[in-house]
Amino acid sequence: MNVQELMAGDIDMLKQMDRGETNAKQRDRYRAAALALEGMQTKDIMLKLDRSKNFVQRWSYAYRDGGIEALVAKSQTGRPSKLVLDQAGWHIAKALEVPTNITLLHLPAYSPELNPIERLWAYIKSHYLSNRVYKNYQEIFDVTKNAWNKISQNQFKSICHTSWIMHEN
């Protein structure tokens, strides 16, 4: 893969954007481009990021053809999104402001088994957070953030998969 920096300092900029990004997929877009700019081969990037060849090449070439701006996520417009929520107090508060393009779908009360994210939190707690003593809130936050970032896309799909949630296209 032959990708060259379009502007001096782009590698450093991509690494900085990577550090500040919370969305794993977006973060890997920056990483794929940065690693390609550093001369790493497609196969090695695939292994390092646990991403497909298509993903690595798409985003490396997107940088090559359009620079950093081509990697930045675009806001999507179009059909409304549905957001599945439990009935925690802050999810049902009257003061909750919901954008017009989002429809809230509240799960029945006391049904954590229907909320896939609850399974993910249980996995993170049992594999990364339990049986430890933390010095302060910041340490808990850092350990949780690191645990979250270690979850691969395939692990996420496996842990959170439910037959009743279907992606509609």
Distance CA 59, CA 12 (A): 17
Distance CA 45, CA 126 (A): 30
User: Which residue did the predictor score with more confidence, 44 or 18?
Assistant: 44
Per-residue pLDDT reduced to its tens digit, 91-114: 777 777 877 778 888 888 777 777
- Residue 60 inside a domain? The answer is yes
Is residue 145 very low, low, confident or very high in pLDDT (cuts 50, 70, 90)? very high
Sign, CA dihedral 21-157-77-99, equals negative
- Residue 4 inside a domain? The answer is no
pTM of the predicted protein model? 0.46
Q: Which domain holds residue 140?
A: 115-169
Number of domains in the chain: 3
Can you give the pLDDT at residue 75? 61
Helices (H), 67-168: 89-92, 116-124, 137-150, 153-160
Same domain, yes or no, for 23 and 66? Answer: yes
Distance CA 68, CA 64 (A): 9
- Residue 5 inside a domain? The answer is no
Same domain, yes or no, for 56 and 85? Answer: no
- Residue 44 inside a domain? The answer is yes
- Residue 2 inside a domain? The answer is no
Q: What's the rounded mean pLDDT across residues 55-60?
A: 89
Can you give the pLDDT at residue 73? 74
- Residue 137 tokens, joined: 């809130």
Same domain, yes or no, for 23 and 53? Answer: yes
Same domain, yes or no, for 86 and 124? Answer: no
Per DSSP, the residues of 28-88 read: HHHHHHHHHHTT--HHHHHHHHT--HHHHHHHHHHHHHH-GGGTSPPPP-SSPEEEEE---
Same domain, yes or no, for 97 and 121? Answer: no
Same domain, yes or no, for 126 and 156? Answer: yes
The residues facing 169 across adjacent strands are none
